[in-house]
Amino acid sequence: MSEKKPEDKSGDLSEQEVVRREKMRNLAEAGVDLFPHKIAVTHSIQEIVSAYSESSGEDLEAAGVHVVIPGRIVSIRKMGRAMFFHIKDSETKLQAYLRADKIGQGKYELFSSIDIGDMVAVEGDLFKTRTGELTILAQDWTFLAKCLHPLPEKWHGLQDVELRFRKRHLDLIVNPDTARIFRLRSRIIAGIREYFNGRGYIEVETPMMHAIPGGALAKPFQTFHNALGMELFLRIAPELYLKRLTVGGMNKVYEINRNFRNEGISTEHNPEFTMLEFYEAYADYNDMMEMTEELIHDLAVELLGTDQLTYGEHTISLKRPWKRIKFMEALSEYSGLAPSRFDNRDSIIELAVTLAGEGAAPTYGKALDVIFDKHVKPHLVQPTFVMNPPKEISPLAKASPDNPDEAQRFELMVAGMEIANAFSELSDPDEQRKRFEQQAEARKKGDEESHVIDEDYINVLEYGLPPTGGEGVGIDRLVMLFADRKSIREVILFPLLRPKT
RNA sequence: GGGCCGUUAGCUCAGAGGGAGAGCACCGGCCUUUUAAGCCGGGUGUCGCUGGUUCGAGUCCAGCACGGCUCACCA
């Protein structure tokens, strides 16, 4: 191994990167610790700004607020023997004022080896400038970290969508909205935990690796366990495991975790996504609707201060109760097809095939689903519970007591997106076996998303699943709604990207 | 997977057959309450890649790569 010094690579570096490495050497030669182990700071920028931004200059001076604050330098304005710069933490900026006469000639000149992007701690007293901006007058500064690459442009930030996702750290440094979205996401998830914990639920973790992929209709990712010599699948849903817990007497459980689906990537789909699933014994899908309204409405009021969401060009009202409509009624209302048209099953399948292409709609139920997605979903902007879809496309749901072809199930649609899906859980093991067999039949006909027969799960049901309501909520899509983002990638820190070649 | 669009300096972008450009950033100089600081001077580049057409290609053509939008797919 040849011991190449970093500067040997200077041929590959841009001029700005070479300059930054030179400046780093200058600091080292001046005795600065380039990678300090521990710095005694007194406050975060966020703490200082929220505590003192409203204080008057006189009050600040009288109080003599002496602090040491760390941050990343995001702008510098040099003015001869003095300079202003802003330091920033994830969402807040604070101005610092450095004067040669105040801090001393040596420390002032050493600062010329500091670049935008570097991290420093500034020590000094708070004051207000002529324009009223809260500022720290530096008595000293400490080097924290060198940024060896130039930062994106200060005004436009980082616009390139691909770069924003590939270099999320940079996106977070220069685009304040990004940090805000992910803080909102964190608060939404914390709020959900609070809601369920407060209702006596317990949070659980079930396997991510399944021997049989189940709980949803989707194509799985495949992997292999060497020691067991066994094919495994990344889970497409936790559903079947959570219901095992209900059989075991854990009457209220929820899980917030990742699901993996080996399907297309789009503005609404990422191969790994976060799902909330919850199950409550002695509840049914009506209870699930009540809880869903309450959870999402209250979260919006608490986190956004309103039950009116702005989503793109839409205003979405979360005022309860939300619209409820039966699947078949929604179909005839929005598709423009006469209700009688749906009696002719072959013609419906034919229509779905023209809409979605060959192989997309092998059965009547699937065909209805295709027509729904195409003609109904885009219209459902205000929160709408679409109830009682065909049993055939709901293999884990109880049939409706008053119509054996319908499932006691709903999907929550908001802004044309499916946000949640819930049902009264099918508990009859023999009926479940029949449903699996029908799914297996569809699978044989080429429907890769159909369920496979899960004997183990049927055996679990044979021990007795009480009447239970269960629901899955797409967390990423919920965050999209709350954060007013049209792409799921804006709300996932590291969305899946093709490796850079 | 199909269609449309994009890929030019570190970033944001203009350039549509013949001199590689602007703003920010960067480098040098001036400047002690500025804040998209200002003033003077400096262009730092494999124009995504590979071929082709042409006297001449960032520009036209083909293929490829990556990305965005959209359609399809998608509990």
- Same structural domain, A130 and A254: no
- A 187-206 residues, CB < 7 A, strand B: none
Instruction: Give yes or no for CB of A221 within 7 Å of strand B.
Output: no
Nucleotides of B under 7 A from a protein CB: 1, 9-13, 23-27, 30-38, 44-45, 65-75
Q: Look at residue A309 and tell me if it is in a domain.
A: yes
CB A173 within 8 A of CB A118: no
| pLDDT at site A2 | 33
| pLDDT at site A6 | 34
- A 480-499 residues, CB < 7 A, strand B: 486-487, 489, 497-498
Angle at A379 between CA A375 and CA A383, to 5 degrees: 130
CB half-sphere exposure, A120, CA atoms < 13 A:
30
Instruction: Give yes or no for CB of A152 within 7 Å of strand B.
Output: yes
CB half-sphere exposure, A311, CA atoms < 13 A:
23
CA of A176 to C1' of B49 (A): 35
Q: Look at residue A240 and tell me if it is in a domain.
A: yes
Please say which residue of A151, A186, A205 terminates a domain.
A151
Q: Look at residue A56 and tell me if it is in a domain.
A: yes
CA of A77 to C1' of B31 (A): 11
pLDDT digit string (tens) for A436-450? 998 888 777 777 777
- A 102-121 residues, CB < 7 A, strand B: 115-116
Q: Which domain holds residue A25?
A: 6-151
Q: Look at residue A344 and tell me if it is in a domain.
A: no
Instruction: Give yes or no for CB of A154 within 7 Å of strand B.
Output: yes
Task: Please state the domain count of chain A.
Answer: 2
Instruction: Give yes or no for CB of A90 within 7 Å of strand B.
Output: no
- A 401-420 residues, CB < 7 A, strand B: 409, 418
What ipTM is given for this predicted complex? 0.89
| pLDDT at site A41 | 96
Instruction: Give yes or no for CB of A243 within 7 Å of strand B.
Output: no
Instruction: Give yes or no for CB of A358 within 7 Å of strand B.
Output: no
CATH of residue A480's domain is 3.30.930.10
Please state the φ and ψ torsions of residue A106, each to the nearest 5 degrees. -60, -50
Instruction: Give yes or no for CB of A365 within 7 Å of strand B.
Output: no
The tokens of A321 are what?
């109760």
- Same structural domain, A73 and A203: no
- A 370-389 residues, CB < 7 A, strand B: 370, 373-374
- Same structural domain, A192 and A117: no
Q: Look at residue A355 and tell me if it is in a domain.
A: no
- Same structural domain, A250 and A135: no
- Same structural domain, A309 and A418: yes
CA of A108 to C1' of B40 (A): 24
Tell me the C-alpha distance between A476 and A318, whole Å: 18
Q: Which nucleotide is nearest to A166 (CA to C1')?
A: B67
Tell me the C-alpha distance between A500 and A303, whole Å: 37
What amino acid occupies position A277? E
- Same structural domain, A302 and A411: yes
- Same structural domain, A410 and A263: yes
- Distances, alpha carbon A490 to alpha carbons A83, A108, A186, A416, in Å: 36, 41, 14, 18
- Same structural domain, A106 and A215: no
Tell me the C-alpha distance between A337 and A339, whole Å: 6
Q: Which nucleotide is nearest to A215 (CA to C1')?
A: B75
Q: Which nucleotide is nearest to A99 (CA to C1')?
A: B32
pLDDT digit string (tens) for A269-284? 999 999 999 999 999 9
Residues 6+ apart with CB under 8 A from A42: A67, A68, A69
Q: Look at residue A139 and tell me if it is in a domain.
A: yes
CATH of residue A64's domain is 2.40.50.140
- Same structural domain, A281 and A421: yes
- Same structural domain, A231 and A118: no
- Same structural domain, A127 and A203: no
| pLDDT at site A348 | 81
Q: Look at residue A77 and tell me if it is in a domain.
A: yes
Could you say which residues of chain A have pLDDT below 70? 1-11, 356-362, 500-501
| pLDDT at site A351 | 77
Please say which residue of A98, A118, A151 terminates a domain.
A151
Q: Look at residue A401 and tell me if it is in a domain.
A: yes
CA of A171 to C1' of B65 (A): 24
Please say which residue of A151, A166, A192 terminates a domain.
A151
CB half-sphere exposure, A296, CA atoms < 13 A:
31
Q: Which nucleotide is nearest to A265 (CA to C1')?
A: B74
Residue A204 CB: number of other CB atoms within 10 A?
A: 16
Instruction: Give yes or no for CB of A159 within 7 Å of strand B.
Output: yes
- Same structural domain, A141 and A240: no
- A 264-283 residues, CB < 7 A, strand B: 264, 266-269
Tell me the C-alpha distance between A205 and A231, whole Å: 21
Helices (H) and strands (E) in chain A, counts: 16, 20
